[in-house]
Amino acid sequence: MPSLPLRVLVLEDHTFQRSVAVNMLRSLGCREVFEASDGAQALDVLNAIGPVDIALCDLQMEGMDGLAFLQRVGASGQVKSIIISSSLSADLRRAVHQIVSLLGLELLGDVGKPLHAQVLAPLLKKYLDSPVTELWTAATVALASEEAVRRALVEQQLQAWYQPKFNLQTGEVCGVEVLCRWLHPINGVISPAVFMPVLERCGLMDELLFVQLDQALSLQQLARHHGFALNMAFNLQTAQLANGELTSTIKAILARHATPGASLTFELTESGLLEAPATSLESLVRLRMMGCRLSIDDFGAGFSSLQRLCQLPFNEIKLDAEFVRTLEHEPRCRAVISSTLALGETLGMSVVIEGIETEAQCQQLLALGCTLGQGYWYARPMNGEDLLRWLPLRDAAQALKL
C-alpha cells in the first residue's frame, strides 16, 4: 500500500471502534494517524501536533461531543476537512452537514457506522485530488493583497477555466461552467478562495466578468471551428445586477465576438434573489431578451422561495451538490431530486445536477430521470488549451462505447 501524505485525527469515544478506524486508516496508507476519545482531548492533540488534513469525527459521545468540537475548530484552521462517522439517523447527520458548511469547514463525506475501507478509501483519494488541497500552503491560506489582485487582473493572470456539463443519458458535452484561476508567475495556480473575496470587496467583479467573457467567447469560437458547440455558463452575483451598464456591456462583448446571446448562461445563487429590487429584475429580463439563459445555482442550499422561482425569468435550476453527496444513504435526498425534476418540467425549466462524483451516483440519477449534470466523475475544471485537447478525446472515447 503506497504511503499517502495525510495527517488524520480520529475522534471516537468507543475504544474498539476507535482502534478499528485508526488501523484501517493506517492500512490505507495514511502517513500519520492520531486519536482522541472526545472533543476536549482532540483539541489538546491538535494543539500538540499542529493542523491535520482530515478529522474522522463521531458526533455523540461523553465529554465534549463532536458538535462542540466542530464549533471550536471551525475558525481555527486546525482541520481542513471533516468526515462524519456516526450512527445517528440520516436526517440528523444531514443537519450536521449544514452546520459543517456554515462553520466554513469542508465536508469530505459521511461514512456512517460501521466503517468500511471501500467507503473510506475513495474519500481519502478525493481529498488528495482536490484542487483546494493542492493549494493549501501557508503562503495561500491568507487572502491576497488588493494591490496584487489588481495587478493580476490588469496583467491577465486571472484566467478562465472550464468544467464541462454533460448529458447523463448520452455522455455528450453540452456546455461548460466558466470558473477562474490565478496563474501566478511564481506561485503557480492559485485558488479563487485567495483572491475572489478581494475582488468582491474592491468592486471588481464586473471587470472580472467582462475579462472572462472575452476569454471564453474566444475559446468558444475555436471550439466551434473544431465541431463543438459549447454553451458558456458564467457565475453572476445578485449585486452585479444593480449595475445599469451590465447588460449593455455584455451585449457589446457578444457583438464583438459575433456570438448570439443563446450561447451564454448566467448562474446566480438563490440567496439574495428573494428580495431582488426592480433594477435587478430589469437586468434579468434584459439578459433573457438578449437570448441568454438564466440558471438558479445551488438550488436548495438556501431558503428557496417557490413563489419567487415562478416570478423570476429563470429557465434552469442547478440543484445543490449536497443532495448528490448523500443520495445513496438518504431517501429524503432522492425525494428532493425527484421533486425538483418534476418542478422543472412543470415550469419548463431544465434541471442540472451538480457534484456527481461516482458511477453509483450517476446510475441512481439516471434511474430518477436526470438528464443534465456535472462533477468530477465526468471532468474536472481545466484551462482552455486543455479543454480543446480533451473534447475530441472525449468524443473518441464515447464513440468506442457505442
Phi, psi of 237 (to 5 degrees): -90, 150
Q: Which CATH architecture has domain 4-129?
A: 3-Layer(aba) Sandwich (3.40)
- CATH architecture of the domain with range 143-401: Alpha-Beta Barrel (3.20)
User: Distance between CA 334 and CA 327 in Å, rounded?
Assistant: 6
pLDDT of residue 255: 97
Please indicate whether residue 345 is annotated as part of the active site.
no
Residue 103 grid cell: 462553520
Q: Specify the pTM.
A: 0.70
Q: Which residues pair with 317 in a beta bridge?
A: 296, 351
Q: Identify the pLDDT of residue 310.
A: 75
| H and E: helices and strands count for the chain | 17, 15
Q: Write out the DSSP string of 104-163.
A: T-EEEEE--SS--HHHHHHHHHHHHH-HHHHT-SHHHHSPPPHHHHHHHHHTT-EEEEEE
Check: CB of residue 191 under 8 Å from CB of residue 132.
Answer: yes
Q: Are 267 and 233 in contact (CB under 8 A)?
A: yes
Q: What distance in Å separates the CA atoms of residue 10 and residue 36, rounded to the nearest whole number?
A: 6
For the chain (length 402 residues), average pLDDT per consecutive 10? 82 93 92 93 92 92 89 83 88 80 84 88 84 40 84 94 94 94 89 89 95 97 94 92 92 96 91 66 91 87 63 88 80 88 91 91 94 92 94 82 62
Strand ranges (DSSP E) for 95-157?
106-110
CA dihedral over 33, 36, 42, 47, signed as positive or negative: negative
Amino acid 137: pLDDT: 38
The pLDDT, as a whole number, for residue 384 is: 95
What does the alpha-carbon distance between residue 236 and residue 298 come to, in Å, rounded to a whole number? 13
pLDDT at residue 273, as a whole number: 65
- The Cβ of residue 61 has, within 10 Å, a number of other Cβ atoms equal to 20
The domain segmentation of the chain, as residue ranges, is 4-129, 143-401
Describe the crossing of helices 15-27 and 117-129 by its angle, rounded to 10 degrees.
60
Question: Considering 354, 357, 359, 385, which one is annotated as catalytic?
Answer: 354
In Å, what is the CA distance from 151 to each residue of 145, 216, 302? 10, 21, 34
pLDDT of residue 5: 85
Predicted local distance difference test score (pLDDT) of residue 290: 93
Is residue 267 classed as helix, strand or coil in its secondary structure?
strand
Residue 210 CA to residue 217 CA, distance in Å, equals 11
Q: Which residues contact 171 (CB under 8 A, 6 or more apart)?
A: 398, 401
Distance CA 6, CA 118 (A): 18
pLDDT at 300: 67
- Listing from the earlier edge strand, what are the strands of the sheet with 4-11? 30-36, 4-11, 52-57, 79-84, 106-110
